[in-house]
Amino acid sequence: MNAPVRTLIVGAGPAGTAVLSAADKSGCLPDLVRAGLIMVEREDTIGSGLLGRYTINSDSTAETFLTAISQSQIDAVRALESHSAVAAIAAHIGDLGVPLPKAGVFLELLGRHLIDFVSQEGGTLLCGHEVLFVQQMTGGLWRAHVRNRANNSESDIIVQSIVLATGGHQPAELIENQTVAGVAINERYGEKLVASDVFLAEGGLPLVRERLLKIEAPRIAVIGGSTSAVAALNKLLRVDAGIDLAPGALTLLHRRPLRPFYHSIEAAHAEGYTDFGPEDICPVSGFVYRLGGFRLEARALVIRTLRIGGATPDPRLRLHQITGDIDAEAIAVLDAADVVIPALGYRPRAIALRDYHGKPLAIAAELAHQPPMVDGACRIIGADGAPIPGLYGIGLAAGFVPHGPLGGEPSFRGQANGLWLWQNGVGQLIVDQLLAGDQQARAVA
């Protein structure tokens, strides 16, 4: 049997490379690599994942992206300050986010330089490879079965800990099984539906325009109260969207109240916003709705729509908060809509797990009620509710909720996603556990 590697990171996209960035910022990336590190990435590119395909702005500021450069402990990464891709991000300092195609180019550049350092320190990147499954072994080890996509050769990696950074997706069943306001939306509105993941990506807007081409006064409904839902609204309302919407023709159907983020209680009060209490304030930062509040471009639209601080709403957009199991007004909106865009979140793109006997190893995220994939320590949760030793998860749809020193308002329900979190506290949370495990292994030896 090959000697076990300390850590395998599956996925070298924004979340996978964020683990490296967190370790870099804290100065412990060399320790992580020298303990034994392999990264496996299905595609031939690293760092950006699918981010660049979305034609919307980020919900992270340009300043947030640039901390990965300015706070790096690697000379070659800090030297990127003069690179054109970094300058393209810096050009958006003070703006309401960064266009995601630009962010994708930046993250690919950053990822390549982090991986170069990893390689120099003895780590390994396997691009164009995919992990077909991982299986438990005795002694707390795992066997990752890997396929080279270029020549279809297969091999095993024996590893102590695995970090799943495989991203999220919108599987068809997420919409097919969804009931909104008392109706099964796929059964009733199937031909009208355009999933938010499709709409927000390149080609999504032309697809909707084509659907509405012969309709004189089009009506559109967006379902959801997430950042993706509000991003869809902003995309439809843009001057260059090419869709002529009459007043009230665009409706957002949502269940939870829409909350804007504020840097302080005083900032909220200065705009006349008082719809929050002590449970909505982060005890670490003092931010109002730190996790549950909309930021940047989405925040600007929410503030306008809610008329906060005397803002004037866009007459084309109206809100409807769904109440009860059956909401007749919401159903009427959906019935009248020519296009319905469900923004119902993402599910983790997990890989196949097997137990000691080669049988499927179920995780909590696969259960019908769809609990988070990870616990408060980023450990993947089994179907029995207990963390699975040696398995960690990070990234879109992992379900991590910041707590303790990472902050967050006590009232928050849901999951927190964001590059800054992954590249800082969340990524470091995983790194600390990986390094602690390495120290324990050395002590036993």
Q: Which domains does the chain have, with CATH numbers?
A: 5-169+346-444 (3.50.50.60), 172-258+294-342 (3.40.50)
Smallest CA-to-CA distance from 341 within 197, 171, 179, 223 is with: 223
* Mean pLDDT confidence for 32-48: 95
CB 126 within 8 A of CB 41: yes
* Mean pLDDT confidence for 409-420: 86
pLDDT for 187: 94
Has residue 73 got a pLDDT over 90?
Answer: yes
Residues 190-244: pLDDT tens digits? Answer: 999 999 999 999 999 999 999 999 999 999 999 999 999 999 999 999 989 999 9
Residues 132-173: pLDDT tens digits? Answer: 999 999 999 999 999 999 999 999 999 999 999 999 888 888
- The rounded mean pLDDT for the chain is 93
CA distance 96 to 345: 22
CA distance 112 to 124: 13
DSSP letters for 174-234: HHHT-EETTEEHHHHHGGGB--HHHHHBTTHHHHHHHHTTT-SS--EEEE-SSHHHHHHHH
Has residue 61 got a pLDDT over 70?
Answer: yes
* Mean pLDDT confidence for 264-278: 97
CA distance 392 to 251: 39
